[in-house]
Structure formats: C-alpha cells, structure tokens
Amino acid sequence: MTLLLGMGWGALGVLVIAVGAIFGVWWERKVSARIQMRLGPQQIGPAGSLQMIADVPKLLFREDIIPARADRTLFKLAPLIVFAPIAIAMVVIPFTSGWAPMDMSVGVLFFLAVPSIESIALLISAWASHNTLSTLGGLRGAAQLISYEVPRSLSVLPLVLLAGSLRPLDIAQRWEWWWFPLTLVAFVVFFIASLAEMNRGPFDMPEDESELVAGYFADYSGMRWAIFMMAEYGAMIVASLFAATTFLGGGWPLSGAAGTVLMVVKAVALVTVIMWVKWTLPRVRPDQLMSFCWKILTPLALIQLVVVGVVLIWL
Amino acid sequence: MPHDLTVNIGPSHPSTHGVCNLLVELDGEVIVSAEPRIGNLHRGIEKIAENRTYMQVIPLTDRLDYVGSMYSNWAYCRAVEQLAGIAVPERAEYIRVMMCELQRIGSHMMALGPAGSDAGATSVYMYTFAQRDLVLDLFEAVCGARLTYNYVRPGGVSLDLPDGWVEQCRAFISQLPGAMLELDRLLFGNVIARARMKGIGVLSREDAIACGTSGPVARGSGVDFDLRRDDPFSVYPRLEFSVPLGDNGDCYDRARVHLFECIESCKIIAQALDQIEPGPVRNDDVPRLIAPPAGDTYAHVESARGSLGVYLVSDGSVRPYRMKVRSPAFSNLSVLPLLAKGHLLSDLVIILGSLDPVFGEVDR
C-alpha cells in the first residue's frame, strides 16, 4: 500500500517537475536576458510566458537520434534514471505545516540519498553515448557528485540536531527564527553543494559547454535531451523547495495555505539566485572544484556542526 | 609518458573560434600534446589574387581577417601604394587610422567576449558585443557594410565620412573607456576568472620572440613591440598613445592587454578627430587598372592580432605576380602546443581563446 501510494506521489512529482521545468525555462530565459541586457522571449503569450508550451511539441517532433555505436538499451534507459530520483525525492518535502506527501521518519536521509542515483544515470548516459567528450563529462560528473555529497549531507545535520529528528515534518514544525542566523553557514554550504549536485554553473563541469560541448548528454536529441533538461530544472526546484522548508522555515511566519504560498515564493527566490549565479560567474576548473569541496566546504560544514552542537548544550 | 585518450576538438566545436581542429592527447585530463590542424578554411586567397587586378584583390583581403577587414584592406593597399608610388591625401590617412583603431576595438571585443565565455561566463559576450555593434554601426554609416567593407582603396578611401559621423564616433569613444573598466571589474576582478586565467598558458618573453608572435600575445608577455610606434606609418607619429604590456604572459595578462588597448585606441581616435581637416579622401590620379613597375615590396600595419604584412611582387602587368600575407594569427597560434602542454583540458579553450586566432587569416 505504501509502495503504491509512493508511486502515486512519485507520478505527481513528475508532473510537478514537468510543469516546474516549463515555468523554470521561461523564468531562466527571462532572468538571463535581464543579466545580458536583452529582453528574452516575448512573442508568445504575455511576456513570452507560453514560449515553452510552443517548445515542448517542437521537441516531441524532433528526430530521436541514437548514435550508431551507442549502447542502445542503456542509451534509452539513462534519461529515465536521471529523471526518476528527482521526482521521487520530492515526496518527503513538507508542503504545508504537518503534511508531506510521504511522512518518513528518515525523510532527510531519503532526500539526500535518492538524488545520488543521478550519478549512476550520468555515468550510464556518458558510457552509452560512446563519445570521448561524453565519457569525460560523465567521469567528471561522477567524481563531482560523490564529492559534494559529503558537504551537502553535513550541512543538513545542524538542522537535524536542532530539531532532534530526521523527519522533515518535525524540522519544519519546530523551526524557529533564530535557527536561520545560527545555521547560516550551513545554508550557504548546502546551497553551494546543491549547485554542484545539480550540475549548475559555476559547477557545471559534466556538461561543460566550452570544452565538452554538452558533456554526458551531447549525443541526445529531441525529447530524450529535453528529459535531461527537465531533470536539471527538477533538481533545481526540489533542492530549492527542500532548502526553503528546512533552512528558511517553510511558510514561517505565515501558516496554512498562505504559508505554502510563502514557501513556494522562497523556493522561487532561491531558484532565481541559482540562475543569477549561473549567468554571472565563470565556471571553475575540475581540480579547483574538488579542492574547493574538500578544503573549504567540508571543513566549514564540520565547524558549523560543532557550533550548533555546542549551542545545543547551552539551551 | 603513458596516455590513453585522443580527443578531437573541432572543427565543429563551440570553443575553437572558427574552424580549428585540435588533436589533443590526454593523460586523464592533463594535456600531453595539443596539435592545431589548420587548413579547414583555406580558400587559396593568395593564389586567387594572382588572377585578379590590383583593385579586385581588395575584397579578397576583406575575407582574410573577417573580424578586422579594415586593417586587412589597409595593409594590402599600403603595399600597392608602395609598389606603384601612389600618394595618399592626408584626410584619407586620418580616416584610415580611425577605421583601423575602431576595427581594433571591434576585433578586441571578439577576443574579450570569448575570454569570458570560454571560462563559462557567457554574459560577458553580450557586454562586449553591445560595444562591437556600435563599432559596426559606425562602419555601416561610413561604407554601408558591417563585416566586409572594401573601404580602403589604393590612394585613399572609397567614401568621405558622412554627416554626423564625427559626433557619432565621439559619442562612442566617450563611453567606451567606462564600459571597458566595468568589464575589467566584472570579468577580471572575479575571483573564479582570476583562478581560471592566472598562471595558465604562460608564454615567456623569449618564446614569444622566438615563435614570431606579435600584437597582444607578444605584449602580454612583456615584449614591448608595436608597429604603430616602432615602425611608424601613416599619421601615427602625430598621435600620442601608450602600449599596454603584461607582466607574466599568462592568459589573464593577454586578455587584459586587449582591454587596455581598446582604451588607448579611444585616445588615438579622439586625437585624430581633433586633427583631421577637410580635404580630398582619394587620390584621383589612380587609374582603374594599376600596373606597377616590376619589383616587390612589403608593407605592414599593426592589426588587432599583431603585425599584419603583405608582400607583393609585380611583373609590370595589371595583376599581382605573387601576394603573400604575413598573418599574425598564424604565428600566434603556433605557440599553442607550447602553452597547452601540462595543463588541463579545461584550460585548453581558455589558452586558445587568449591567442585570439581568426581562422580566415590563419588558413587564408
């Protein structure tokens, strides 16, 4: 029964991400246009907001090219594996106080663990494409995702300590305003690690446009390519929702439906910052990416954990 | 040294600045060797020139360095003028200097934008292209074309400056230094951009000279050489400007030399606009079919990429016997294997971009 329910919510998650991606692409095009002194899409619908509605059918009708030397089965499988974990991770997010699609006692752990499956999908797509640049992108991606798991998980622990629970619902309910200044460093670490986790600039090593063309999904076309794009936006949305509910207190100071709206607003604000970062900063180099992770982010997250632990004794 | 991966970068690739094919041997992500394989854009311009009259060759020179057609025209026309002994009116010389400097700005925008986007900061491209567009507007006003101008002719230029052009040009050069300093803060002040560019692709002063590099690539390595000052031609001796130099010869210095050269070009244009006086812009005595006396000559200008030279041989007929272009982009590209060795694949596109090659001129 739980499994069936989970699948149902997962399917709904896919829908939310698909709609979110359509909105996200439009929003990203608008944000990047602002940064680049352009106007962005403006022909279809008010302020170009229906642009993606026109783009999705276009992508559906594109030829689905599978390279001759590709591993056909894996090649077709990879987009699904890249997309599914993100939709699944969504089910533990408390959308309103006291309610999450799936109430899990280890929800935080679940949220941190499930999107990691993406690194396997990344490797599969890179391997299946039988393309040097894709392979390089996939290897980079795997190294990056595994490394950034560490600071990302560590940065959530202070909140788990404060709430005394791994249940996202508990964290959201027990959240108090002074948690935010106390865990600010953890929030920044989580934000940066999430950027790397979702392969967004300045950490978009695996799809590094300037030398790897598009990296692991360089050989994908049409809808399969669009699924990779949707997964990227999905990861952005899910991570922002999670950060909004845990680090930023969800609907605080409002509650009920207004709280849910405020939470979504916070998440959209975070998504906007992610886009802002991508379109402003240059990309870091793979070795710099690694040393940044292990030499700066991980120690910072550890220090934050100790600080919160010490503060907890005083309380 | 064992290596296990050979990667073909280009000729169809987002960061090869044209149609360059780089054959890269990788050990992990470390470059063992990088070999540029040129010739994809070879059109045989030097050979075609032998079958055309001297006037008909000018449009061909437009296609050499297609982001800097003005100075390509000029280098060729100087060679023809030297060969045939054609005098150029002073106003035409001033116009040529201004066009060359505007073209330098326009071309450097093509170097600075990719300096950012190679490193992943794609927005920089838009900022530099906004400036390049203003340059192209000025060119369009003066000759009607935005890319291949065919503007400089033996004995002058094809058309005089139109009404309002001087004001348009002054408006442009008054805002450019500010925009350049903003770009300096935005891109070269950024901590990631510094980490990506500093210490990458270091070209020593000795290597810069030995490999025959010129222009911003050589000046980024501290080679104080600029034809405009060291082999003065046209009206450059009457204009005051300084030559920006780099200290370390890395990608950061090369890119910044581009930026500060744009500001110096603004100073040159401002002085030229002050000094220019009304008069003819074309020597009317030049015949349509120029038949220079038999002999040969070499003329060069300081282009945005370095010393662009044209060697012309005449056998007394109306067609050049031989034309040879000394391409700065070709010489600058030759240091790529030297610079790329030992760096990571990610650095390769930044190094290539910092050399600012234009393959129309490399392959000819």
Q: Any CB–CB contact under 8 A between B127 and chain A?
A: yes
Other Cβ atoms within 10 Å of B262 Cβ, number: 27
pLDDT tens column, B218-252: 998 888 888 888 888 888 888 888 888 888 888 89
Gap from B201 CA to chain A (nearest CA, Å): 14
How far is it, in rounded angstroms, from Cα B197 to Cα B346? 11
pLDDT tens column, A91-104: 888 877 777 777 78
Residues of chain B found within 8 Å of residue A133, distances taken between Cβ atoms: 7
Cβ of B196 within 8 Å of Cβ of A202? The answer is no
Residue type, B292: P
Q: CA triplet B111, B114, B115: central angle to 5 degrees?
A: 80
Contacts of B86 (CB under 8 A, 6+ apart): B80, B154, B155, B283, B285, B286, B290
Pairing of strands B152-153, B30-37: unpaired
Helix (H) or strand (E) holding B295: strand B295-303
| The predicted structure's pLDDT at residue B1 | 47
Q: How far is CA B203 from the centre of its chain?
A: 19
Q: Any CB–CB contact under 8 A between A34 and chain B?
A: no
Q: Residue window 94-153, chain A: list those with CB within 8 Å of chain B.
A: 132-133, 136, 140
Q: Any CB–CB contact under 8 A between B347 and chain A?
A: yes
Q: What is the mean pLDDT of each run of 10 residues along chain A (315 residues)?
A: 76 80 86 87 81 81 82 84 82 77 82 84 84 82 84 89 84 82 88 85 72 75 82 87 84 78 88 89 85 89 89 81
Q: Regarding the domain delimited by B53-110+121-327, which CATH topology (the fold level of the hierarchy) does it fall under?
A: Cytochrome-c3 Hydrogenase; chain B (1.10.645)
Cβ of A283 within 8 Å of Cβ of B192? The answer is yes
pTM score, two decimals?
Answer: 0.84
Q: Residue window 190-209, chain B: list those with CB within 8 Å of chain A.
A: 190, 192-193, 195-196
- The three state secondary structure string of chain A is CHHHHHHHHHHHHHHHHHHHHHHHHHHHHHHHHHHCCCCCCCCCCHHHCCHHHHHHHHHHCCCCCCCCCCCHHHHHHHHHHHHHHHHHHHHHCCCECCECCCCCCCHHHHHHHHHHHHHHHHHHHHHHHCCHHHHHHHHHHHHHHHHHHHHHHHHHHHHHHHHCCCCHHHHHHHCCCCHHHHCHHHHHHHHHHHHHHCCCCCCCHHHCHHHHCCHHHCCCCHHHHHHHHHHHHHHHHHHHHHHHHHCCCCCCCCCHHHHHHHHHHHHHHHHHHHHHHHHHCCCCCHHHHHHHHHHHHHHHHHHHHHHHHHHHHHC
Report the chain B residue with the minimal C-alpha distance to residue A287: B344
Q: Any CB–CB contact under 8 A between A208 and chain B?
A: yes
Query: What average pLDDT does chain B have?
Result: 87
| The predicted structure's pLDDT at residue B311 | 92
pLDDT at B359 > cutoff 80: yes
Q: Any CB–CB contact under 8 A between B119 and chain A?
A: yes
Q: Any CB–CB contact under 8 A between A180 and chain B?
A: no
Contacts of B229 (CB under 8 A, 6+ apart): B236, B241, B243
Confidence band of B3 (pLDDT split at 50, 70, 90) = low
Cβ of B14 within 8 Å of Cβ of A213? The answer is yes
3-state secondary structure of B285: coil
Cβ of A280 within 8 Å of Cβ of B196? The answer is no
Cβ of B120 within 8 Å of Cβ of A204? The answer is yes
Contacts of B363 (CB under 8 A, 6+ apart): B38, B39, B40, B41, B42, B43
- Indicate the domain borders of chain B: 53-110+121-327
| The predicted structure's pLDDT at residue B246 | 86
Gap from A209 CA to chain B (nearest CA, Å): 7
| The predicted structure's pLDDT at residue A273 | 92
Cβ of B120 within 8 Å of Cβ of A202? The answer is yes
Helix (H) or strand (E) holding B31: strand B30-37
Q: Any CB–CB contact under 8 A between B15 and chain A?
A: yes
DSSP bridge pairs for B31: B26
pLDDT at B52 > cutoff 60: yes
How far is it, in rounded angstroms, from Cα A298 to Cα A153? 10
Most A CBs within 10 A among B15, B192, B200, hence the mutation to make, goes to B192
Report the chain A residue with the minimal C-alpha distance to residue B5: A132
Residues of chain B found within 8 Å of residue A28, distances taken between Cβ atoms: none
pLDDT tens column, B266-302: 999 999 998 888 888 888 888 888 888 888 999 989 8
Residues of chain B found within 8 Å of residue A283, distances taken between Cβ atoms: 119-121, 192, 196, 346
pLDDT tens column, B89-108: 889 989 999 999 999 999 99
Nearest to B344 among A38, A281, A286 (CB): A286
CA nearest to A9, candidates A93, A84, A101, A81: A101
How far is it, in rounded angstroms, from Cα B342 to Cα A235? 35
